[in-house]
Amino acid sequence: MPLLDAAGNPMPSSAASRLPVGLSGEIATTSDGRDIFRAFVTGLQQDTDPLLLSSADWGVYDTIFRDDQVKSCWQQRTTALTSRDWRVTAGGDREIDRAAAELLEQNVRRIGWDNLTSKMHKAVFNGYAVGEVLWTREDGYIQFAAIKVRHARRFRRDADDRLRLLTLANMQGERLPERKFWFLKAGGDHDDLPYGLGLAHWLYWPVMFKRNGLKFWNTFLDKYGAPTAMGKYRPGTPEGDIQKLLQALQSIATDTGFVVPEGMAVELLEAARSAGADYDKMVDKMDLAIAKVLLSQTGTAENQAWSGTAETHAGVRDDVVDADDDLIAESFRAGPAAWLTRINFPGAQIPVLTRRHEEEGQDLNELADLDAKMLPLGYRRSRDNVRETYGDEWEPVDASTGRTRPPSQRPGAEAEFAEGEDSHTRIDAAVDALMADTRAARALDPMLLPLVAALEQAADADEARALLDRIAPNLNDDVLKEIIESEAWQILAL
C-alpha cells in the first residue's frame, strides 16, 4: 500500500523512500510535561496509582501482601510458574546462535533461575520489579555473577524515562549505568504508565473490607463471649456511689465476684448469636474476590467437588501462568539475555528462555473404556494404534487358549517357522475386499428383496414370522457362498 500525502494522494516512489518528518518520533509523549494529568516532582515521574499517591511510600502495598488469602493465592500463582521446567532455545540455526544459547543456559543455571523468577514475578503484583546484574569475567566470557532483585520503591524514572536510584544524598535519583539494571514492568492498559499497574491496585478494597470485617467480627465475639454489663442507679445517687458502680462493672470481665452499693442493679446485655453470620459471609466473600483477582478464578482456592469444574479452573490458571511466563521471558530476552549475547557473541540471534506447560496425555483408563464400548459396535484399534496408545510392550493373545501367540500364528494353528501377517489383519483385508466387490451386493439382492417384501406385507409379528419361515427354504445363497470363498482364499492364502 503506497504512502499518502496530507491531501490523501499517493506519494511518488522517490518521496515514499524518505520517511516524512514527524512520523518517527513521539508526539503524545508524557516525558516533556505536556500531559495535563501527570505531575513531575523534581524531574521524576510519579506513580499514577492513586493508592500510592495518597500514601507516604509503598506501605499500602506491603499491608495488602500481608493478608493471609493474598499470600496463599500469590504463592499458588508463583509456584505454578516456577514448578515448570525451563529451557533455552537458540534464536537461529547458525553455530554462533547455538553457542550463545549454550552460554545463556550455563549462566541462568548458575544464578538460580527459579529463585530469580519468583522474585521478579512480584512485578505482576506491584507493577514493576528491578534486578541488578552483577558481571564477572570467567572462561574468556563476560558472564553473570548474580542478578539481585532490589525493592522497587527505591527506583524512579526521570523525564527522559531513564532509571534512577533514590538515595539520601540525592533524592532526585542517581543515574544508573547501562546494562546494569533489569527493569520489568507489568499491567496497565496503555503505555503512559511508567511503573505499570499491579494487581495490588485491585486488591486494596477487598483486603480493606476484610480487615474491617474481621475487626468488627472480633468485637462481636468479645461482646458475645463477655456480654456488656449495664448498671442502674436511682436519680440523686451520689457521684461516689456511681463511680463504685462503674468499677464494679469493669471488674465483671476479670473477677469472679463484685459488689455494688445498695439500691443499684447490674444487668448483662447479650449479643444476638445470629448477627455474627454476616461477618463470616462478608470475610468469605472478600476471600473469593481476592482469589479472583490473583488467580482469575476461585476454583483453585477452594475445594471443588466437581472434577469438571476443577479441570476448567486449572485450565484458566494455566493461561494465567503462561501469560506470566511470556511477560518475564520477553523482558529477560530484551534485557540481560540480549546484553550477555551482544557482549560475547556479536551478531548472534538472542536465545529464548521459556517455561511452557506440557499438555498431559490422555487417561488410559478412559481410552480402555472407550475401546470396550466400541468393540460391540464392530470397531477395534489397529495393531499400530494399540502400540502408539498403550506402548510397545503389548502382545496379541489367542482368545481360545488365553496364551500369548506370535503375531504370525493364526488362532488354532500350529506354530510355524515362516513369518506371516496377523490373522486379524488378513480377515480385515478379506472383509474389505468383499465389501468392495459389486458381485456380492448383486448376489444379496435376490435374498433380501423377498424378505423385505414379506415384512412389509405382514400385519403383525406372528404373520411376519410365518412368511419368513415359508420364504427361507426357497432362498438360494450358492452365488454368495462362492464369492465369499473366492475372496477369502485369495486373501488368506497370501
Mapping DSSP onto H, E and C, the string for the chain reads: CCCECCCCCECCHHHHCCCCCCCCCCCCCCCCCCCCCCCEECCEECCCCHHHHCCCCCHHHHHHHCCHHHHHHHHHHHHHHHCCCCEEECCCCCHHHHHHHHHHHHHHHHHCHHHHHHHHCCHHHHCEEEEEEEEEEECCEEEEEEEEEECHHHEEEECCCCEEECCCCCCCCEECCCCCEEEEECCCCCCCCCCCCCCHHHHHHHHHHHHHHHHHHHHHHHHHHCCEEEEECCCCCCHHHHHHHHHHHHHCCCCCCCCCCCCCEEEEECCCHHHHHHHHHHHHHHHHHHHHHHHCCCHHHCCCCCHHHHHHHHHHHHHHHHHHHHHHHHHHHHCHHHHHHHHHCCCCCCCEEECCCCCCCCCHHHHHHHHHHHHHHCCCCCHHHHHHHHCCCCCCECCCCCCECCCCCCCCCCCCCCCCCCHHHHHHHHHHHHHHCHHHHHHHHHHHHHHHHHHHHCCCHHHHHHHHHHHHHHCCCHHHHHHHHHHHHHHHCC
Give residue 8's pLDDT band: very low, low, confident or very high (50, 70, 90): low
Give the Cα separation of 18 and 60 in Å (integer).
51
Give the Cα separation of 290 and 301 in Å (integer).
10
* The model's pTM: 0.59
**Partners of 268 in the β-ladder:** 229
Give the Cα separation of 312 and 310 in Å (integer).
5
Regarding predicted confidence, which is higher, 117 or 357? 117
| Lowest mean pLDDT, pick from 138-147, 295-304, 347-356, 458-467 | 295-304
Average pLDDT (348-376) is: 77
**Would you state the pLDDT for residue 265?**
73
Give the Cα separation of 47 and 426 in Å (integer).
76
| Lowest mean pLDDT, pick from 188-192, 193-197, 403-407, 469-473 | 403-407
Per-residue pLDDT tens over the stretch 246-296? 787 777 766 656 666 666 777 666 655 555 457 778 888 889 999 999 998
Give residue 365's pLDDT band: very low, low, confident or very high (50, 70, 90): confident
Phi and psi angles of residue 413, each rounded to the nearest 5 degrees, phi first: -100, 155
Average pLDDT (124-135) is: 95
Give the Cα separation of 86 and 355 in Å (integer).
4
**Would you state the pLDDT for residue 312?**
42
Residue 357, CA distances (Å) to 217, 308, 317, 321, 323 in order: 42, 20, 11, 9, 11
| Lowest mean pLDDT, pick from 120-129, 157-166, 281-290, 429-438 | 429-438
Average pLDDT (18-45) is: 61
Instruction: Inform me whether the pLDDT recorded for 306 exceeds 50.
Output: no
Regarding predicted confidence, which is higher, 323 or 455? 323
Residue 143, CA distances (Å) to 112, 120, 336 in order: 14, 20, 10
At residue 143's C-alpha, the angle toward residues 139 and 145, to 5°, is: 110
Give the Cα separation of 443 and 486 in Å (integer).
14
Among the listed residues 273, 275, 290, 246, the one whose alpha carbon sits nearest the alpha carbon of residue 69: 290
As given in the structure block, the three cell numbers for residue 188 are: 496497565
Q: Which residue type sits at 399?
A: A
How would you class 182 by CB atoms within 10 Å of its CB: exposed for 0-12, middle for 13-18, buried for 19 or more?
buried
Instruction: Inform me whether the pLDDT recorded for 301 exceeds 80.
Output: no
Instruction: Inform me whether the pLDDT recorded for 327 exceeds 70.
Output: yes
Write down the residue that cell numbers 500463582 correspond to. Answer: 77
Write down the residue that cell numbers 456488656 correspond to. Answer: 228
Q: Burial letters for 153-179: b for 16+ Cβ neighbours within 10 Å, e otherwise?
A: bebbbbeeeebbbeeeeeeebeeeeee
**Is the C-alpha dihedral spanning 374, 376, 378, 382 positive or negative?**
positive
Instruction: Inform me whether the pLDDT recorded for 462 exceeds 70.
Output: yes
Regarding predicted confidence, which is higher, 422 or 150? 150
Per-residue pLDDT tens over the stretch 49-95? 666 655 545 678 888 999 999 999 999 999 999 999 999 999 999 99
Instruction: Inform me whether the pLDDT recorded for 388 exceeds 80.
Output: no
Give residue 427's pLDDT band: very low, low, confident or very high (50, 70, 90): low
At residue 490's C-alpha, the angle toward residues 488 and 494, to 5°, is: 115
Residue 42: Cβ within 10 Å count: 9
Give the Cα separation of 206 and 192 in Å (integer).
27
Instruction: Inform me whether the pLDDT recorded for 483 exceeds 90.
Output: no
CA gyration radius for the chain? 40
**Would you state the pLDDT for residue 358?**
60
